[in-house]
């Protein structure tokens, strides 16, 4: 959510930003907010004036009663009563206008950074940089589900019976490899100075609407029937929500945390659930990183954060690239975002394994996350980045470490988490 001062002082800037995001249907909201806000402030000013007048008149009543001027006192009491009635009317009107303003402000997109490339959708995202040589071996790389099956490590059929499409069992060495990646990602971030956390896996609706747009919420979140609780789609949601309505001391900044959680997603939309493998599923596990920092430090943290993910994947012997998200591909709360994509030797192309985002003060403004400085309180900036999402990282690791004899080499950094095993040998 943007600062309403932007609409008061520079409506054209807000409209131009909406155009850059190809959301022209929202242009009218800016003028609506402007007009509602004018009326709201008029009512508020009238209310403030009346409260001051009421206080003044109320102060006179006692003196008049002491002086025996009961009629004058009663007249002022009547005037105070009329003022109270008007104040009540104004407060009701202010509350209605506040709701009208908020409902529109919640869907007006955040102001994107000047460096964001302009484009309609993800087809116009821009490659930034490649890390590691993308190799296509002379032998065929099987589909990742087939590789896992060769180790007796994957059971989608049983998961279909217990849970339906979009779920799976991981078994044996593949399950162990899955845990090894997450454990390594956890320790990697701890070594970078981040504090490890395991958050709640369910959050209330006021936190959900604080951390994401309504469109994202509808497409992603599972709601617990009969309760004001949602299953998290990523631990960023509950990690940022931890600081809701908090005033953080500047000396405590930056807050840098890395969190583990399962993630639950409906995956509603054009892509849908993958029928065969684990690329797009309803449930996976993830190591995440979040930063809450001073506004002037957020871009520096953004650069650090995506580089951490690149470093981790290179340590897993996986070539990656970064892809700058264009304006039309940015979620409404984001100022700037890039995807980290891993190389798929089977498909001979890159695919998304993580995303790094700077949200400016949008989440902080919705959730009331502030700091107090010499000039008063101000909203902080929030950032999040995927360290490792288990299902997609598994695909990238298996494909890039698959050998011609069907074995899969275990990257050196994972071997201590695998009991010293250096490679997986097929059981089929």
Most confident of 19-23, 62-66, 272-276: 19-23
- 253 Cβ partners below 8 Å, 6+ apart? 292, 293, 294, 371, 380
Does residue 179 register a pLDDT over 70?
yes
Does residue 375 register a pLDDT over 90?
no
Strand duo 349-358 + 381-389: pairing: antiparallel
In Å, how far are 41, 130, 207, 219 from 127, measured between CA atoms? Answer: 46, 8, 33, 27
pLDDT category at 35 given cuts 50, 70, 90 is very high
Does residue 275 register a pLDDT over 80?
no
End-to-end CA distance of the chain: 54
Does residue 373 register a pLDDT over 90?
no
Does residue 271 register a pLDDT over 70?
no
CA–CA gap between residue 343 and residue 133 (Å, rounded): 9
CA–CA gap between residue 327 and residue 21 (Å, rounded): 5
Nearest Cα residue to 261 out of 237, 280, 294: 237
Does residue 121 register a pLDDT over 80?
yes
Residue in the block written with tokens 């007009």:
35
Mean pLDDT score of the chain: 95
Does residue 61 register a pLDDT over 60?
yes
Identify any residues that bridge with 223 across adjacent strands, giving them in sequence order.
230
Identify any residues that bridge with 320 across adjacent strands, giving them in sequence order.
131, 342
Rounded (10°) CA dihedral 302, 306, 311, 316: 150
Nearest Cα residue to 382 out of 258, 236, 249: 236
Does residue 44 register a pLDDT over 90?
yes
Q: Over pLDDT 70: what percentage of the chain?
A: 98
Domains 4-105 and 122-424 share a fold: no
Does residue 270 register a pLDDT over 60?
no
Nearest Cα residue to 357 out of 176, 231, 226, 234: 234
> What pLDDT is attached to residue 418?
98
Q: What is the mean pLDDT of residues 333-361?
A: 97
Q: Which of 28-42, 215-229, 320-334, 360-374 has the lowest mean pLDDT?
A: 215-229
> What pLDDT is attached to residue 220?
85
Residue ranges per structural domain of the chain: 4-105, 122-424
Report the CATH number of the 4-105 domain: 1.10.287.40
Report the CATH number of the 122-424 domain: 3.30.930.10
Q: What is the mean pLDDT of residues 50-62?
A: 91
pLDDT category at 272 given cuts 50, 70, 90 is low
CA–CA gap between residue 333 and residue 357 (Å, rounded): 10
100 CB burial (10 A radius; 0-12, 13-18, 19+): middle
For 215-236, how does the pLDDT look when each residue is reduced to its tens digit (9 = 90+)? 777 778 999 999 999 999 999 9
Does residue 59 register a pLDDT over 90?
no
């Amino acid at each position: 959510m943007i600062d309403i001062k932007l609409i008061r002082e520079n409506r054209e800037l807000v409209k131009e930003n909406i155009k850059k995001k190809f959301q022209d249907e929202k242009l009218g909201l800016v003028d609506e907010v402007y007009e509602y806000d004018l009326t709201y402030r008029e009512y508020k000013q009238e209310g403030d004036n009346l409260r001051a007048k009421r206080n003044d008149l109320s102060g006179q009543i006692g003196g008049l009663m002491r002086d025996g001027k009961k009629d004058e006192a009663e007249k002022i009491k009547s005037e105070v009563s009329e003022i109270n009635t008007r104040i009540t009317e104004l407060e009701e009107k202010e509350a209605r206008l506040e709701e009208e303003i908020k409902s529109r402000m919640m869907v007006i997109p955040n102001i994107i950074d000047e460096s964001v490339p302009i484009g309609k959708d993800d087809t116009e995202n821009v490659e930034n940089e490649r890390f590691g040589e993308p190799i296509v071996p002379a032998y065929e790389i099987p589909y990742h589900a087939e590789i896992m099956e060769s180790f007796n490590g994957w059971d989608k059929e049983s998961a279909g019976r217990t849970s339906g499409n979009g779920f799976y069992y991981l078994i044996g060495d593949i399950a162990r490899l899955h845990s090894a990646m997450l454990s390594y990602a956890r320790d990697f971030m701890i070594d970078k100075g981040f504090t490890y956390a395991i958050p709640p896996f369910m959050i209330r609706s006021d936190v959900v609407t604080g951390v994401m747009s309504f469109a994202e919420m509808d497409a992603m979140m599972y709601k617990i029937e009969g309760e004001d609780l949602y299953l998290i789609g990523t631990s960023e949601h509950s990690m940022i929500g931890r600081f809701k309505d908090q005033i953080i001391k500047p000396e405590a900044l930056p807050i840098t945390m890395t969190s583990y959680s399962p993630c639950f997603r409906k995956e509603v939309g054009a892509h849908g659930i993958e029928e065969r493998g684990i690329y797009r599923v309803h449930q996976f596990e993830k190591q995440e990183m979040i930063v809450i920092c001073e506004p002037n430090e957020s871009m520096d943290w953004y650069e650090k954060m995506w580089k951490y993910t690149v470093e981790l994947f290179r340590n897993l012997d996986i070539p990656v690239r970064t892809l700058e998200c264009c304006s039309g591909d940015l979620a409404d709360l984001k100022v700037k975002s890039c995807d980290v994509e891993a190389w798929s030797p089977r498909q001979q192309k890159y695919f998304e394994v993580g995303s790094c985002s700077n949200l400016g003060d949008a989440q902080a403004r919705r959730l009331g996350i502030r700091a107090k400085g010499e000039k008063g309180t101000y909203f902080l900036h929030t950032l999040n980045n995927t360290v490792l999402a288990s299902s997609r990282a598994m695909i990238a690791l298996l494909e890039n470490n698959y050998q011609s004899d069907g074995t899969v080499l275990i990257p050196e950094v994972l071997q201590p988490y695998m009991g010293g095993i250096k490679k997986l040998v097929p059981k089929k």
